[in-house]
Structure 1
Amino acid sequence: MFKKLLAAAGVGGATVDTRLANPRLAPGEVLRGEVVVQGGSVAQRIEAIDLLLMAEVEVESGDHEHREARALGRLRVSGALEIGAGETSSLPFALTLPRETPVNLLNHHGRPLAVWIHTDLAIAQARDNDDRDWLEVMPTPQMQALFAAFESLGWGLYSTDVEAGTARAGQVTTTLGCYQEFELRPYRSQWQLQEIELTFIPDGDAYQVLVEIDARFGRDGYTVLTMGRDYATVDWARRLRERIPALG
C-alpha cells in the first residue's frame, strides 16, 4: 500500500521516454520513433499515450501580441495497458506531419521558431514526462525553389513567424488554426518595395502561395502563385518579375 501511495505521488512511478528516429524532416513527411515506458516499483495502469505536434504561435490580444503553445496534430500511440514493476515496453509510432507544419530550419534574422513533440499521458499513478522533443523542420522543395528565385532577384529571408488564425489564397484556406509567414527584404535599398511576405497553403499536390507586397509608397498589394507538380520546370525568377514588376 505504501509503495502504491508513493507511485501516486510520482515517487517510484512509471516513466516514459519518447525517442525520435528522424527529428529532421519536411512537412508531409513521416516522423518515426518509439515511446519507451519503464515500469516503476509497482505495477501501474496507463489509460492512454498520445503524441502532440506543438508549435509556438503568435496571438493578438488587443494592441499586444504574445506567444503560446498550440497543438497542430495528435497521434494515439497506445490505449489502455498495464506496465509491470520494472517492466519495459516499447511502442513504435509513425506520425505524418501536416503539410502546413511550420518550417524552422532556415537562416534568418528573427527569433528561432519552436516546433516539438509533446508526450501526453493519461496515466493512473504515474509521473508525466514533460520533456520536449524538438523537431528541425526543413523547407519543402517548392519553398526552396521560390526562396532561390527571390534570392536571385536580390531578396532574402529576414524572419518568419506563425500567426493564429487562417490565411486564404483564392479558394484555398489553411486548416490548422494558424499559418506561417515568411518575411523577405531586399539586400539593397529598394525605393518601391519595402518587404514581401509569403504564405504557402497546400492545395492537393500543389501549393497556393499568397504573396503580400508592402509598398514603400502607394498602396500595398498581393498576388497568388500556383506551384503545381511541374514547379521544378518553371523559371520562377521570370514569373516573379511578370507578377511583381517592381521587383526589377
Structure 2
Amino acid sequence: MVFKKMLSAFGVGGPSVDTVLTNPNTRPGLTLDGHVNLVGGDAPASIEQITVGLVTRVEIEGGDTEYAGIMEFHRMAVSGPLQLAPKQQLSIPFQLPVPWETPVTDVYGQRLHGMTMGLRTELAVARAVDKSDLDQVAVHPLPIHERILDAFQALGFRFKHADLERGHIRGVQQTLPFYQEIEFFAAPQYAGTINEVELTFVTSQQGVEVILECDKRGGFLSAGHDVFGRYAVPHSDAGRTDWVQVVDGWLRETTSRYGNLRAHGFGAPHGHHGHRGSGMAGMLGGAALGVAGGLVAGELIEDAFEGDFGGDFGDFGGE
C-alpha cells in the first residue's frame, strides 16, 4: 500500500486528462470550445482544479541577449475541486474566450513561419504530480486584418517572418504583455526607399491599431534608419475601403518622415517595459506560468507541434 501511494505521488497509476477541441480554428474575439476528458487511475483522486490556458512562444530581451520563452497569456478555470473515483470517466465542457489581441498564427490556410499557439490543460491533483495536456490552436485573422494583409500582397510585398516581442508599444493601449511583428521584404516599387516593413496589429472590440515600422534605406549623405507610422481603423471599415490605396498611402506617409515618431508625441513605439512578477512569463491578471511551468510548456509545445511550424503565407512566399 505504501509503495502504491509512492507511485501515485509520482503520477504512476494516477488519473489522465485529454482535451478535445470542437474546432481548433478560431479568431481574436471568438471562443475555443471543447471538453476536458478525465479518466480515473488505480485509486481515488482529489482534483483541486482544472484550468485551460493559451500558451505561445515569445521573444524576450535580457540585457544584450534575446531568447525565446514560452508564455501563458490567458487562463480560465474549467472546474473547481472534485473527487474522481478509480477508472471513472468524466467529460467537462468549456468555452474559452479568445482575447482580442491574440496574435494571428494562420493566414490563407498556412501557418505563419515563426508562430506557435497551444491550449494547455492543467489538472491539479492533491498530493500527486499535476497532469497536463496540450492541443495545437490556429488563430485566423479578422476581416480587417485580412483586408490589410491582402493589400500588402497586392502591392507586391513578400512575407519574411513573424514573431512575438515581449513589451508594450508606447502610446498604444495593450492588454497582453507582448505584440506581434509580421515582417515583409519590400515590394519592388518601394525597394529604393525601404528594405523591410514590420506590421503590428493591436486589436480591440472596436477596431485595430496598425503600427508600421519601415527599415528606411540611407541616402548619399544620410544613414539608414527606422521610421514608424501608427493608424487606427474600425472593424466596420473592413468591407468598404480600397485597402491597396490606403496601405500605399500609409507607407508613403510613414517613409516621408525622418527618424521615429518622437516629434509626433509617440516616442519610440516598440519600447519594452520591465517584468511584472517573477519568471519569464511575468504576471497577467493573476494567472501566469513561472519559469518551471514555462519550460514544461515549452517542451510540450515542441513535442506536440514539431513539423507544424512551417507555412509560406500563401503567395507571399518566404526565403
Match of 2:153 among 151, 154, 168: 151
How is 1:32-47 mapped onto 2 (pairs within 5 angstroms)?
32-47=33-48
- Deviations for 1:93-117, whole angstroms, at most 9, x for unmatched residues? 0001111112211478974311101
What's the secondary structure of 2:93's corresponding residue? strand
In structure 2, the residue corresponding to 1:132 is in which secondary structure? strand
2: CA distance between counterparts of 1:243 and 1:102?
22
- State the AA in 1 paired with 2:181: E
Select the structure that is richer in strand. 1
Check if 1:123 corresponds to 2:125. Answer: yes
CA distance in 2, matches of 1:241, 1:11: 60
CA apart distance, 1:42:
1.1
Amino acid at match of 2:232: T
Number of aligned pairs?
245
- Equivalent position amino acid for 1:121 in 2: L
Q: What is the DSSP-based 3-state SS (H/G/I as helix, E as strand, rest coil) of the residue aligned with 2:106?
A: coil
Offset of residue 76 of structure 1? 0.1
Kindly indicate whether the alpha-carbon contact (under 8 Å) linking 2:216 and 2:225 is maintained by their aligned counterparts in 1. yes
> Of the candidates 203, 206, 228, which is equivalent to residue 222 of structure 1?
228
Deviations 1:112-132 (A, max 9, x none): 311101112221245533442
Letter in 2 for 1:223: G
Aligned twin of 2:180: 180
Q: Which amino acid aligns with 2:179?
A: Y
The one-letter code of the counterpart of 1:49 is: I
Map 1:78-97 to 2 at 5 A: 78-97=79-98
The match for 2:275 is none
Q: Deviations over 1:193-220 (max 9, x none)?
A: 1111111112442111111121112543
Segments of structure 1 that go 5 or more residues without pairing to the other structure are none
Corresponding residue for residue 234 of structure 1: 241
Would you say the 8 A contact 1:40–1:85 is kept in 2? yes
Structure 2 spans left out of the alignment, 5+ residues = 219-223, 256-319
* Identity rate, percent: 35
Return structure 1 stretches of 4+ with deviation > 6 angstroms.
107-110
What is the letter of the counterpart of residue 152 of structure 2?
F
Secondary structure at the counterpart of residue 7 of structure 1 = helix
Do the aligned residues in 2 keep the contact of 1:214 with 1:220 (CA within 8 Å)? yes
Residues 109/157 of structure 1: CA separation in 2 closer, same or farther (3 Å cut):
farther
Q: TM-score, normalised by structure 2?
A: 0.71
Tell me, yes or no, if the aligned pair for 2:125 and 2:131 is still in contact at 8 Å: no
Higher mean alpha-carbon deviation, 44-53 vs 194-203, is at: 194-203
218-227 or 81-90: which moved more? 218-227
* Structure-1 residue corresponding to 2:165: 163
Alpha-carbon contact 2:100-2:205 (below 8 Å) kept: no
Tell whether the 8 Å contact from 1:109 to 1:158 is kept in structure 2 after alignment: no
Alpha-carbon separation, structure 2, partners of 1:208 and 1:230: 13
Q: Aligned Cα RMSD in Å?
A: 2.2
